[in-house]
């Protein structure tokens, strides 16, 4: 890892939340869409695919996607 990257450790609950949200988008989207789901984005693609109904939608609202 280079010095510009930082690594934050995640709790087991946070990792579980991320993996459950990722499971909803297998073969549909990637990490960008996953970030939008977790952040609770109002992106059209999320609403078109009914991903806003996911229990993980908005789980990390208020935290920057970066």
**Under 8 Å between Cβ of 22 and 54:** no
**Under 8 Å between Cβ of 46 and 52:** yes
**Under 8 Å between Cβ of 18 and 34:** yes
pLDDT at 3 over 80: no
Report how far residue 53's alpha carbon sits from residue 44's, in angstroms, rounded to the nearest whole number: 13
What local confidence, expressed as pLDDT, does residue 10 receive?
87
Q: pLDDT, tens digit, for every residue of 14-66?
A: 999 999 999 989 988 899 999 999 999 999 999 999 999 999 999 999 887 66
Report how far residue 12's alpha carbon sits from residue 31's, in angstroms, rounded to the nearest whole number: 19
Report how far residue 19's alpha carbon sits from residue 31's, in angstroms, rounded to the nearest whole number: 11
Write down the domain spans for the chain. Answer: 12-53
What local confidence, expressed as pLDDT, does residue 7 receive?
62
């Amino acid at each position: 890892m280079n010095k510009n990257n930082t690594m934050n450790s995640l709790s087991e609950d946070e990792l579980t939340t991320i993996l459950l949200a990722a499971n909803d988008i297998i073969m549909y989207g990637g990490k960008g869409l996953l970030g939008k789901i977790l952040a609770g984005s109002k992106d059209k693609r999320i609403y078109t695919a009914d991903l806003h109904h996911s229990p993980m939608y908005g789980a990390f609202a208020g935290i920057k996607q970066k």
